[in-house]
Amino acid sequence: MNCVVFKLFVITLSFITLSFLYTLSMIGYFEKEWSEKVIFSEKNLSESKVKFVPEVLNSLENYGNMGEPVVLPLNLSDNVKNLIEDGWKRHSFNQFVSDLISVKRTIPDLRDPWCRRKSRYPIVSLPLTSIIICFYNEAWSVLLRTVHSVFNRSPDYLIKEVILVDDFSDMLHLAEST
């Protein structure tokens, strides 16, 4: 019995070790791949971009296009580190990077080729659509990007209305903007 338990322990330990080594190799892979991508520079960050007003979100062209990652350098200022930490606390994702991505960013079309075929449905026979976006304490940049994505990627003659439903958010930026 002890021999069986020991073998199971060794197999489990081997699996954990291999998983850990694989994870380390993937981290190295991503660092190698991402090192050639757009890297954020604080030199490009003016005070107006820290406020993340819609005009600024509209004008940012490079970050996040086609789903490319935004790579932050390790030597960020304390101000930017605080912004990143605050975004993680409030939204559980890097809101700072999200705020750098344009509302007009391009994204790859990941639909199956069958779904992309325009002849699949006669578009004129499709009914008007109401689009309902429910949100609760959402980051402003994410909400704006969602709404812009609906308008930029949907035929306007199919959209009857876009309804934003705030599910009782208590964050001030949403109370002021809605």
Question: Could you tell me the sign of the dihedral formed by the alpha carbons of 102, 108, 112, 117, in that order?
Answer: positive
CB atoms closer than 10 angstroms to residue 140: 19
Statement: residue 94 has pLDDT above 70: yes
22-39 pLDDT tens trace? 443 333 333 444 444 445
Please give the Cα distance from 154 to 162 (Å, whole number): 11
Q: What is the CA radius of gyration of the chain?
A: 22
Statement: residue 177 has pLDDT above 60: no
CB atoms closer than 10 angstroms to residue 162: 15
Please give the Cα distance from 87 to 97 (Å, whole number): 9
Query: Would you kindly state where each structural domain of the chain is located, as residue ranges?
Result: 1-36, 113-177
In eight-state DSSP terms, residue 170 is: -
Q: Structure tokens of 107? A: 């994204």
Distance set, CA 18 to CA 7, 12, 32, 152 (Å): 16, 10, 21, 44
Specify the 3-state DSSP secondary structure of 37.
coil
The distance from CA 131 to its chain's CA centroid, rounded to whole angstroms, is 20
> How sure is the predictor about 43, in pLDDT bands with cuts at 50, 70 and 90?
low
> How sure is the predictor about 130, in pLDDT bands with cuts at 50, 70 and 90?
very high
Q: What average pLDDT does the segment 51-58 reach?
A: 48
145-167 pLDDT tens trace? 889 888 888 888 889 999 988 88
